[in-house]
Chain A
Amino acid sequence: MKKSLSQRIVLSVVGVLVALAIVFPTYWMFVTSLRTPGEILSPKYDLIPTSFSFGNFATALGKDNFPTYLLNSLIVTVGSVLCALVAGTLAAIPLSRLRFTGRKGFLVLVMVAQLAPVSALFIPLFLLMRDAGLLNTLPSLLLIYFATTLPFTVWMLYGFVNGIPYELEEAAMIDGCSQTGAFRRVTLPLLGPGLVTTSVFSFITAWNEYLFALVFIRDKPKETLPVWLASFRTAFATDWGGVMAASVIYAIPALVFFLLVQRKLVSGATAGAVKG
């Protein structure tokens, strides 16, 4: 279908307007974080900033143990991602490379677990953590994030290992490698990109998580970043510049990771769409 010039112009204008509408909240977060408190509370109407100040970031970082919350978030997130990667890789290898009884059953379990609405299960999980004496500790969150991201991790890594030809391992074994050696030296390095993609997904899930972080943690100094940020009114009152600066600091790791693997996430998420 060839489009006339005027049609193309109209479409481009619509496209740009849509893009502006979509980007506005993110844009506004960044712009506000770079303004002085005086500018923010002035009645002036300015969508495009003329001057920048980094004072809000200093305010946010100096506020209320901000670095502690940041560290808490990093501990539970990185910890759960590493656990999920190790357990996920260990599970993906036999699922893809070996044939054994119960293999299919396990795959179905993973598939169903991936769909489980974990947020509806916080009552028994709260009681479980209480019985285990883990309530109000960071490991309780680490375990939950590990479990919630694990099914997805297994499923993704299973797909990635499947994508690496077994013939490569066989060739290495003919050349004198053991089976484990062949896996370690041939398949594992090729699995690198898959591990990165999968870990980014888990990272974002854990980094974003709010409900369990709210339910399990009672002591303020053990809170994670989203819980603290959600209660920003206590810390910032109406210092919107400070809130936006804190939000920006919180958002940047997720934004960076996301841009890295965005394309793969899409294909991964819809790979299982029902045909017909």
Chain B
Amino acid sequence: MTATANVTMPAGATPPASPRDTRAKKRRRGRFGDRVLPYLLLLPALAAILVLLAWPLVQVLAISFRKLDIGQLVSGKTVWIGFDNYTNTLSDPEFWTVTFRTLVFTAAIVAATILGGLLLAVLMRHLGPVVRIIVQVTLVLAWATPVIATTTVFQWIFDEQYGILNKTLDRLGFHGFIGFSWFSSGASTLSVIGLLIVWQAVPFVTFSLYAGIIGVSREQYEAAGIDGASAWQTFRAVTWPAIKPITTMVTFLSVLWDFNAFAQIWAIREGGPDGGSTTLAVVLYLKGIAGNHFGAAAAIATLMLIVLALITGRYIQLLTRTREGDLS
């Protein structure tokens, strides 16, 4: 049968068989081919992950101990300076201001996202099918709108002269908002950016939590009803235990995404006014790409990775352990 011969020729990788080959030899080669086959198939994916993800991770650490400005980049000389990039960064008061701002910003938007998603998911459970589908469609629209399209829309809504928000506030009697610039201070700019990020992140959280809530059996809610549990008690005793794992998961993912948020912040005011909406991700870009201080930027990136690892480390540990089950 010609068909069986195919097995020994995976992906054209086996060299063409010489005419002297006996059947026994062929079988042995087949076994060898079978043993090599999985690695050949994995090769493209493995190479991409190692070269474009793992190697840069090692490199970022290595570069952080080097002086690598435009001069070194052009001359190609490797200048090791030990911990200088770190001491310079850590002794800069501006760095601590930005770090503090980034942490507060991340905490605020993650909390708002999770709380908003939780409220919406619970609300969706109580809605009739028609209204629920309306809410779901609007959530998908918010989720699917590309990040940069969203930033342009928000800038238009918050436009000082013709933006619909100021027009509405004026109509409601707050005449002081005519011509009010929402991007005149760092705090206000970050609030708008935060709102934008939360608006886009809530749908994912809502759908994830809602999937957990509808997984709870109807009987459990009925039993709670018969026992005379209040809405809050029902949530605490029935809903929360069911969605706690998913809540932890989406919180972790939100921290990961929001801590590194760059596109929205940069696209709206490039970290301005006067650096007032600058976060660590923006500093990284400014130092590295705009300022050509690759070594110093790598040190900041390493510090960011350390902070992230500290915040999420415990969860990654749990995650990999639970997923071991999927690896069988």
Contacts and interface: CB of A to CB of B under 8 A. Distances in A.
Contacts of B140: 258-259, 262
A272 B249 contact: yes
B245 A274 contact: yes
Nearest to A150: B48
Q: What DSSP secondary structure best describes chain B's contact surface?
A: helix
B32 interface: no
B4 A178 contact: yes
B248 A273 contact: yes
A120 interface: yes
A109 B320 CA distance: 10
A40 B164 CA distance: 10
Nearest to A267: B211
Given A247-B149, A254-B144, A45 B56 contact: no
A146 B48 contact: yes
Contacts of B153: 25-26, 28-29, 244, 247
B236 interface: no
Interface in B271-328: 281, 284-285, 288-289, 294, 297-298, 301, 304-305, 308, 315-316, 318-320, 322-323, 326-327
Contact of B143 (A120, A211, A258): A258
B39 interface: yes
A93 B39 CA distance: 11
A208 interface: yes
Nearest to B35: A100
Contact of B42 (A11, A90, A120, A146): A90
A91 B44 contact: yes
Interface in A140-158: 143-144, 146-148, 150-151, 154
A12 B127 contact: yes
A254 B289 contact: no
A177 interface: yes
Contact of A123 (B42, B211, B301): B301
Given A125-B52, A266-B208, A229 B148 contact: yes
B143 A19 contact: no
Nearest to A31: B164
B49 A126 contact: no
7 contacts: A15-B131, A110-B45, A121-B301, A122-B285, A180-B10, A210-B262, A275-B245
Given A16-B131, A215-B289, 13 more contacts: A1-B225, A11-B123, A15-B134, A15-B135, A22-B142, A45-B168, A90-B42, A91-B45, A119-B262, A127-B63, A176-B3, A208-B148, A232-B152
Interface of A: 1, 3, 8, 11-12, 14-16, 18-20, 22-23, 25-26, 28-29, 32, 40-41, 43, 45, 47, 86-88, 90-91, 93-95, 98, 100, 102-104, 106-113, 115-128, 130, 143-144, 146-148, 150-151, 154, 176-181, 204, 207-208, 210-211, 214-215, 225-226, 229-230, 232, 240, 243-244, 246-248, 250-251, 254-255, 257-259, 262, 266-267, 269-270, 272-276
